[in-house]
């Protein structure tokens, strides 16, 4: 890009340089002592690179923090949209078919009393939980219909560039797309052999495990930043059998 005298940056630079010249000229005319003036100019010029370095680092750090915060906000908006449109319903469906859910259900009933340490402790316990899902031909048919109806939304979600910075959420979307493609390739779920149903169940369990982790992280984010959104998410908790959107 070619600089022009009409650009505000160049005009500002000219004004600042001219202002420095005026100040030093006034100092020389009023106080005399040109040697002292020259010495002061060189001292200032000597410190200028250090000053530029400090200001540049500080400004870059502040701008980096601000940009990171803005990207995080946009990213969590995308994650929230995913759970509103797809994730919560999918998590409800899969958790209802988790034969081992009773062992961890209470750990996933998030409340206002939860602290960051509690979220961290639940994550540690979930690492030892096998996210199994018992699905049959009818369940796979329902999953296929559910995901196919939302394929357009998921594709638009992938077009969002901020997702490139969220590896774990990208892994979840990749697993969901793989499951959707696997299910769409089957025409007759009733006639599938047990070996193929077991294969599809593995794909479902992969989605389920990743989905739980993302949901828990999103709940922690809402509790920390948006209490009113956290309230609705808490009242829509797919793991809480007593959850109701109606405020009692």
Give pLDDT tens digits for 117-150: 999 999 888 888 778 888 898 999 999 999 999 9
Q: Token pair for residue 129?
A: 């939980």
Q: Do 210 and 115 fall into the same domain? A: yes
Residue 243 domain-assigned (yes or no): no
- The answer to whether position 89 is within a domain reads yes
Task: Check residue 33 and give left, alpha or beta (phi > 0: left; psi -120 to 50: alpha).
Answer: left
Q: Are residues 212 and 120 in the same domain?
A: yes
Query: Do 37 and 106 fall within a single domain?
Result: no
In a domain, residue 13? The reply is yes
Domain count, the chain: 2
What CA–CA distance (Å, rounded) separates 239 from 106? 8
Pair (17, 94) in one structural domain: no
Give residue 191's domain range.
Answer: 71-235
Same domain membership, residue 14 and residue 99: no
Residues 99 and 150 in one domain: yes
- Whether residue 201 is contained in a domain is answered as yes
- Among 18, 43, 62, the domain boundary falls at 62
Residue indicated by tokens 């493609």: 181
Spatial distance between the Cα atoms of 206 and 192, rounded to a whole number of angstroms: 20
Instruction: Select the more confidently predicted residue: 42 or 13.
Output: 13
pLDDT tens by residue, 48-79: 676 776 677 777 777 777 777 777 777 888 88
Q: Is residue 148 part of a domain?
A: yes
Query: Given 19, 35, 62, which residue is the final one in a domain?
Result: 62
Considering the domain architecture, whether residues 54 and 90 belong to the same structural domain is answered as: no
Q: Kindly state whether residues 38 and 146 are assigned to the same domain.
A: no
Any domain includes 14? yes
Separation between Cα atoms, residue 131 and residue 143, nearest integer Å: 17
> Based on the domain organization, do 179 and 102 belong to the same domain?
yes
Q: Is the pLDDT of residue 246 over 60?
A: yes
Are residues 95 and 188 located together in one domain of the fold?
Answer: yes
Asked if residue 47 is part of any domain, the answer here is yes
Task: Name the one residue in this structure whose structure tokens are 């000597």.
Answer: 46
Instruction: Kindly indicate the confidence band of residue 6, based on its pLDDT and cuts at 50, 70 and 90.
Output: low
Residue 94 contacts residue 208 (beta carbons within 8 Å): yes
Question: Residue 96: inside a domain, yes or no?
Answer: yes
Residues 173 and 228 both lie in one domain: yes
Residue 85 and residue 136 in one domain: yes
Cα-trace Rg, the chain: 30
Residue 65 host element (H or E): helix 34-82
So what's the pLDDT on residue 215?
93
Do 4 and 10 form a contact (C-beta atoms < 8 A)? yes
Cα–Cα nearest to 139, from 85, 171, 98, 185? 98
């Amino acid at each position: 890009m070619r600089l022009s005298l009409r650009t505000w940056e160049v005009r500002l630079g000219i004004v600042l340089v001219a202002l420095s010249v005026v100040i030093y000229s006034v100092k020389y005319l009023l106080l005399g002592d040109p040697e002292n003036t020259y010495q002061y100019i060189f001292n200032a010029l000597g410190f200028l690179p250090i000053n530029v370095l400090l200001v540049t680092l500080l400004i870059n750090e502040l701008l980096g923090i601000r940009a990171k915060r803005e990207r995080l906000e946009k990213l969590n908006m995308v994650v929230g949209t995913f759970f509103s449109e797809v994730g919560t319903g999918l998590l409800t469906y899969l958790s209802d078919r988790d034969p081992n859910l009773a062992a961890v259900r209470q750990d996933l009933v998030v409340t206002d009393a939860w602290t960051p340490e509690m979220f961290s402790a639940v994550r540690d316990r979930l690492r030892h939980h096998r996210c199994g899902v018992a699905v049959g031909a009818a369940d796979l048919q329902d999953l296929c219909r559910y995901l196919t109806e939302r394929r357009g939304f998921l594709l638009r979600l992938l077009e969002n560039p901020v997702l490139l910075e969220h590896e774990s959420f990208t892994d979840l979307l990749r697993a969901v797309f793989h499951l959707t493609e696997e299910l769409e390739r089957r025409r007759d779920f009733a006639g599938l052999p047990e070996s193929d149903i077991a294969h599809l169940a593995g794909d479902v369990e992969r989605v389920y495990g990743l989905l739980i982790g993302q949901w828990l992280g999103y709940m922690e984010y809402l509790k920390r930043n948006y209490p009113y959104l956290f309230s609705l998410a808490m009242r829509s908790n797919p793991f809480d059998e007593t959850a109701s959107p109606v405020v009692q």
